[in-house]
Amino acid sequence: MEFQSLFIIAVSAIFVSNFVLHKFLGLCPYIGVSKQLDSAVGMGMAVIFVMSMASVVTWTIHNYFLAPTPSNLLFKIFMKGKGDPPDLTYLQTICFILVIATLVQTVEMVIQKMSPGLYRSLGIYLPLITTNCAVLGVSILNIDAEYNFIQSLVNGFTSGIGFTLALVLMAGLREKLELANVPRAMRGAPIAFIMAGCMSLAFFGFAGFKM
């Protein structure tokens, strides 16, 4: 199996082109949730789960229902495999966001039933994963890069890990920053952005590695 390509996808998603620090995906919760370490870790876990599942489901929908290939299920059932397969890729945005919204709703219900403590501590941020650019972003990136099923799953899972890594690092730094003497104008969001800029600069050190 192509373990090397999977490893490259994983390292690239976590370090080299980190979702938050280089691809700019997932910034709203990044600035909003990263004030405390515990909620950051909980949010990260939920995002990893949603991103992995969303990658898998959206890949399946794209390759078996939307793409103009002969294996398109709608082509086989309704046109009985004759003629040209229909190109339904314009429905991509609507289908994907519907799938993601449903997934997040399901995850929310499961967490509420299985672990009410976690549900209470995540609060409003769980439904907000629907509008997290990272989830829709990784789905579309998998399609653009033409990954197969396993590669999409690995990309989704490790992108979630990359997001969680950046989030946890930021939360740890911001907790320490509570005690520092920041100039009044820069307190809160501005200093968080400057820190993100420095972290992004640091992560640039991973670019150019040869495997």
Partner 1 sequence: MIIGKEFIKGLYKENPVFRLMLGLCPVLAVSNSVNNALGMGAATIFVLLCSNGVVSLIRNFIPSKIRIPIFIMIIATFVTIVKLVMAAFFPDLSKSLGLFISLIVVNCIILGRAEAYSSKNRVFLSIIDGLGMGIGFTLALIIIATFREILGNGSWLGMELFGPNFKPVLLMILSPGAFLTIGFVIGFLNWFEHRRHIKH
- List interacting residues with partner 1 (CB under 8 A): 21-28, 31-32, 90-94, 97-98, 101, 127, 130-133, 136-137, 140-141, 144, 183-187, 189-194, 196-198, 200-201, 204
CB of 76 to partner 1, least distance (A): 25
Residue 74's closest CA among 59, 89, 85, 60? 85
Smaller CB separation from partner 1, 28 or 79: 28
> Could you tell me how many residues make up the chain?
211
Smaller CB separation from partner 1, 83 or 144: 144
Smaller CB separation from partner 1, 80 or 144: 144
Question: Is the CB of residue 199 less than 8 Å from the CB of residue 21?
Answer: yes
- State both tokens at 133: 């650019």
Rounded to whole angstroms, the Cα distance separating 171 from 45 reads 14
Residue 64's closest CA among 88, 97, 84, 98? 88
CB of 144 to partner 1, least distance (A): 7
Rounded to whole angstroms, the Cα distance separating 66 from 119 reads 35
CB of 81 to partner 1, least distance (A): 28
How crowded is residue 50: how many other Cβ atoms within 10 Å of its Cβ? 24
Smaller CB separation from partner 1, 38 or 144: 144
CB of 35 to partner 1, least distance (A): 13
